Amino acid sequence: MSALFSPLRLADLELANRIVVSPMSQYSAEDGAANDWHLVHYGALANSGAGLMMVEATHVDPESRGTPACLGLYTDAQEQALARVVATCRSVGQSALGLQLNHSGRKASGNVPWAATRGPLTPEQGGWETVAASAIPFGEGFPTPRAATPEDLERIKTAFCDAARRALRIGFDVLEIHGAHGYFLHSFLSPLSNHRTDAYGGSFDNRVRYLIEIVQAVRDVWPAGKPLGMKVSSTDWDDAGWTIDDAVELVRRLKAAGCDYVCMSSGATTATTKVRIGPDYQTRFAQTVKQEVDICTWAVGLIHDPEHAERLIADNWADAVTLARAFLDDPRWAVHAANRLGVEVKRPRTYGRAAPGAWPGAAKPDLAPAGKG
Ligand SMILES: Cc1cc2nc3c(=O)[nH]c(=O)nc-3n(C[C@H](O)[C@H](O)[C@H](O)COP(=O)(O)O)c2cc1C
């Protein structure tokens, strides 16, 4: 019996196993719309063996895009293009499908990661004004964002709800709000990026207020039977910043506001904060949250080994494991993990002849010297 490959119930949805393809921006959209790249990329990942495949950070209005090539969900054309991807994944794939909604805040208006000049776009390159909790740049060389006005806060909340309506029409099973990685929502949580003096700044209660309002507003749009979650920052890795104790209390309130799960990430609050990466550097935050709060908790970060993933679930560190780079490297990671753990997993019938037992190549190689004849 594998804990990793046991089913997971989330609201009215049952996932076949506890493996989640993490949202991963592809920086390949045109005017925020998905295209053939997304069709092929997500079509393959829908057959990865994972119980759930999350679609990358998808932005709620034009200025919220991290780069001009990020996905958006604020026009009919974008909705149609993403609906085509989802229809394809449903017809060829096995995984449940989720979407992550994001506003990039002061990290918006950037170059794609492989651009010769990384970092923020200049006005000549088409850069636009960014908006964040306070008028504090992400780092040196980044533009100073506009501090969100009360009108901005209402408009952005409405944009999250409108995008959630579109995600519902498209037929996604799961919706996730991005509350980490230094983006708009995280910029409210962290004292490093939030110097507001109104009801959204200062005390812990004030700094978490906007996120809770967003969850409550989106929950009104997103049906109770469908899972709603948040990618949460566990820590800023900075003594003057957001801490795991803050995160635990936020998760309690997210649960009360209607979140069905949290995915515990960390870092990227400012350009200079350094994540102390190492084995279980981040999964241990999931363990803390799981011990403290009765909510479905996902671990993410440096999970690539099937036995490690199995242990995280079996030892109760997390309810699900979320993998990003492992799936880029091996788009059938979960099928291969099942082979390794000796578990049967649903695979496309056309791939049946590659299953262990059906294909001699899947057996352990015979290392005895080859004889003649
Ligand atoms: C190419 C790439 C794109 C990413 N885009 C997103 C994203 O859209 N949303 C998000 O929450 N995290 C994003 N991430 C972070 C991953 O989801 C994940 O949290 C992080 O890579 C750690 O997991 P890993 O060690 O399994 O890669 C991205 C990571 C990569 C490698």
* Ligand 1 atom closest to the CA of 304, numbered from 1: 26
Q: Where are the beta strands (DSSP E) in the chain?
A: 8-10, 13-15, 19-21, 52-59, 71-72, 96-102, 131-132, 146-147, 174-179, 228-233, 261-265, 296-300, 320-323
Residue 138 within a domain: yes
How many angstroms is it from 222 CA to the middle of ligand 1? 24
Query: Is 186 close to ligand 1, i.e. is its CB under 6 Å away?
Result: no
Q: Residue 305's domain spans which residues?
A: 8-362
Residue 96 within a domain: yes
Structural domains in the chain (count): 1
Q: Provide the 10 A C-beta neighbour count for residue 117.
A: 9
Residue 373 within a domain: no
Residue 297 within a domain: yes
Q: Are 25 and 66 in contact (CB under 8 A)?
A: yes
> Is the dihedral angle over the CA atoms 160, 166, 168, 170 positive or is it negative?
negative
How many angstroms is it from 260 CA to the middle of ligand 1? 21
Residue type, 362: A
How many angstroms is it from 371 CA to the middle of ligand 1? 48
User: What are the pLDDT digits (tens) for 28-53?
Assistant: 999 999 999 999 999 999 999 999 99
User: What are the pLDDT digits (tens) for 128-178?
Assistant: 999 999 999 999 999 999 999 999 999 999 999 999 999 999 999 999 999
* DSSP β-ladder status, 261-265 and 228-233: parallel
How does DSSP assign 204-234, residue by residue?
A: HHHHHHHHHHHHHHHHHHS-TTS-EEEEEE-
Query: Is 57 close to ligand 1, i.e. is its CB under 6 Å away?
Result: yes
Closest residue by Cα to atom 15, ligand 1, is 24
Residue 280 within a domain: yes
Share of the chain above pLDDT 70, in %: 97
Query: Is 308 close to ligand 1, i.e. is its CB under 6 Å away?
Result: no
Query: Is 61 close to ligand 1, i.e. is its CB under 6 Å away?
Result: no
Residue type, 253: R
Query: Is 18 close to ligand 1, i.e. is its CB under 6 Å away?
Result: no
Q: Does the pTM of the predicted model rise above 0.85?
A: yes
Residue 24 within a domain: yes
Please state, in angstroms and as integers, the Cα–Cα distance from residue 116 to each residue in 120, 139, 245, following that order: 12, 19, 39
Averages of pLDDT over each 10 residues, the chain, 373 residues: 97 98 98 98 97 98 98 98 98 97 98 92 96 97 97 98 98 98 98 98 98 98 98 97 98 98 97 93 98 98 98 98 98 96 89 84 57 43
